[in-house]
Structure 1
Amino acid sequence: MRILAIGDVVGNIGCRFLRQRLPALKKLKGVDLVIANGENSADGNGVTPISADFLFSSGVDVITTGNHSFRRREIYPYYDDAPYILRPANFPEKTTPGNGTLIYDMGRVQVCVINLMGCVFLENLKDPYETIDEILKKNTAKITILDFHAEATAEKLAMGYYLDGRISAMFGTHTHVQTADECIFENGMGYITDVGMTGPIKSVLGVKPELAIKKQREKLPVRFETADGDCKMDCILFQIDEKSGKTINIERIEIR
């Protein structure tokens, strides 16, 4: 089983670049399942039904999100109606639209996809360790993959060690910078701290540099705009043994 995880897709420009590059990559690498973080896929942050539909029609099978999951109110009903878009599982269950986990039935094997958010330097959600423990107690899928949307490198790495041997693979999102630490842990879990970003190369995490500079220097609110120009698509490809559920190969990819 080859599962491709794509870094945070930023704005309309990132969505269009993904549509241009993803089909050829899937064919070249023999990809079985594509997961993309789409929480910034709408211009101006957040995800909308339009941007989510665009990603799905471009070849993405599962969309994960993060701290911008609910930035756009028009997406709220979509979380309940569309089966293959997730929000972090540690949002309050009773009051939050959508789900934090799903089972993707591949026919020969089921894949559990989990979306979780860290708490260091982010919102004070339910403890991610407690949340993942509760999910895994009920999980019966042979292959399980986690998008851990977190700010702190240490929190992602600690979660990786915590889950080694319990899930198939974990990839980090949110910081938009691809890390060079992809590995297979001792007990067979594939891992990368952050898979990166899909969007404009000449940018500050997808934002026009001059606007990011203005915000940092002047400390006043600034309306961010997605940058223009050449793009890249950051990915991680996990090859997972369907019988053991362990990662047997991992490949970090950057498409320009």
Structure 2
Amino acid sequence: MLRVLFVGDVYGKPGRRVLAAELPRLRAQADFVIVNGENAAGGFGLNREAFELMLNAGAGAVTLGNHAWHHKDVYSLLDHPQLVRPLNLPPGTPGQGWRTFEVGGQRLTVVNALGRVFMDAAHNPFLALDDLLQRPDLGSVFVDFHAEATSEKAALGWYLDGRVAAVIGTHTHVPTADSRILPRGTAFQTDAGFTGPLHSIIGADPEGPLQKFVTERPHRFGVKEGPAELNGVWLDIEHNAALRIERYHFEEART
């Protein structure tokens, strides 16, 4: 059995801070840790500093999402064996959409896929995963599905039920209360939540989003300072099936 911790989207400096403080303690309880680094650098994308912080804190794999290309740093990181960019991108895209790790004598494959509903165009994630799952020796498969629509996330979970160990959603930053093991053994949760500013609108200082909604004009979004939260999902998996799924939540002291 493998005990895996997945940490939802790390957002900006507050997210990096709480991750660096808390993940070493959590890592001691896990066989492997996966962290979504989609928003780690200033709320958009990943840079070298944020990536190295995650690895030093205990991440075994770092996944991305629709902001993967926001910082030019990422191009020098894409060949790193612990970085997983979205799978369903055009042929020739740098980097790799899946990585297989040896963990405690077992194989664990980490996949990152992008949704298409209400998001920038990507190739069909259902068919991309069909192709990937034809490969031998993947072991247990974990899918970080970075998508906007809850229906699309649920559909992928059901589509892959019995073929992967887990499908856990990211991108919307709000942890959902639907943790479950589907009938054929795949763990599913619509969204793991995010790791970032507690008193925020999905990470941003409320002033920016409020002005945009009220005035209907563009407004700059800044990362909210102050205490942060860490959201994630614990999984017990074996032979490409889930034995247990449990949500995890931690908050820094509120000020």
Q: Distance in 1 between matches of 2:196 and 2:165?
A: 27
What pairs with 1:7-18 in structure 2 (closer than 5 Å)? 7-18=8-19
TM-score between the two structures when normalised by the length of structure 1: 0.95
Secondary structure of the corresponding residue to residue 76 of structure 1: helix
Deviations 1:203-247 (A, max 9, x none): 001000011111222333322211011111001000012xx3211
Is the 2:43–2:203 contact (alpha carbons within 8 Å) kept by the matching residues of 1?
Answer: no
- CA distance in 2 between counterparts of 1:138 and 1:65 reads 22
The answer on 1:112 being equivalent to 2:118 is: no
Matched, 1:195 2:196: no
Tell me what 2:73 maps to: 74
Q: CA deviation at 1:139?
A: 4.1
Question: Matches of residues 92-103 of structure 1 in structure 2 within 5 Å?
Answer: 92-94=90-92, 96-103=93-100
TM superposition shift of 1:97: 1.6
* Partner SS, residue 15 of structure 1: helix
Q: 1 CA distance for matches of 2:43 and 2:32?
A: 28
| Aligned-residue identity in percent | 38
Q: 159, 162, 176: which is aligned to 1:162?
A: 159
In structure 1, the residue matched to 2:57 is 58
Q: In the aligned structure 1, how far is the partner of 2:63 from the partner of 2:5?
A: 13
Per the alignment, in what secondary structure is the counterpart of residue 195 of structure 2? strand
Query: What code does the residue aligned with 2:211 have?
Result: K
Corresponding residue of 2:250? 255
Q: Please tell me whether residue 219 in structure 1 is matched to residue 240 in structure 2.
A: no
Structure 1 residues without counterparts, runs of 5 or longer: none
- Which of 228-237 and 148-157 deviates more? 228-237
CA distance in 2, matches of 1:21, 1:93: 38
Partner Cα separation in structure 2 for residue 17 and residue 76 of structure 1:
26
The yes-or-no answer on 1:37 pairing with 2:32 is no
Q: CA–CA distance in 2 between the matches of 1:58 and 1:214?
A: 36
Ranges in structure 2 where 5+ consecutive residues have no aligned partner:
none
Return the alpha-carbon distance in structure 1 between the equivalents of residues 52 and 116 of structure 2: 29
Distance in 2, Cα, partners of 1:204 & 1:227? 9
Match of 2:174 among 166, 172, 177: 177
Aligned partner of residue 68 in structure 1, secondary structure = coil
Q: Is the 8 A contact 1:212 1:224 kept in 2?
A: yes
2:59 maps to amino acid: V
Query: C-alpha separation between the residues in 2 aligned to 1:11 and 1:4?
Result: 20
Aligned partners of 1:44 and 1:180: how far apart in 2? 24
The two structures have a TM-score, normalised by structure 2, of 0.95
Match of 1:136 among 133, 136, 149: 133
The residue matched to 1:57 in structure 2 has which SS? Answer: helix
2:143 equivalent in structure 1? 146
Shift of 1:107: 4.7
- Amino acid paired to 1:8: D
Local SS of the residue matching 2:101 = strand
Which residue of 197, 201, 225 maps to 1:228? Answer: 225
Contact 2:31–2:104 (Cα < 8 Å) also in 1:
no
- Cα RMSD for the two superposed structures: 1.1
Amino acid at match of 2:26: L
- The count of aligned residue pairs is 250
Provide the C-alpha distance between the structure 2 equivalents of 1:101 and 1:178, rounded to a whole number of angstroms. Answer: 24
Aligned equivalents of 1:220, 1:60: Cα separation in 2: 39
1:107–1:31 Cα change, 3 Å: closer
Contact 1:112/1:139 (CA < 8 Å) preserved in 2? no
Corresponding residue for residue 127 of structure 1: 124
Aligned to 2:99, what secondary structure does the other structure show?
Answer: strand
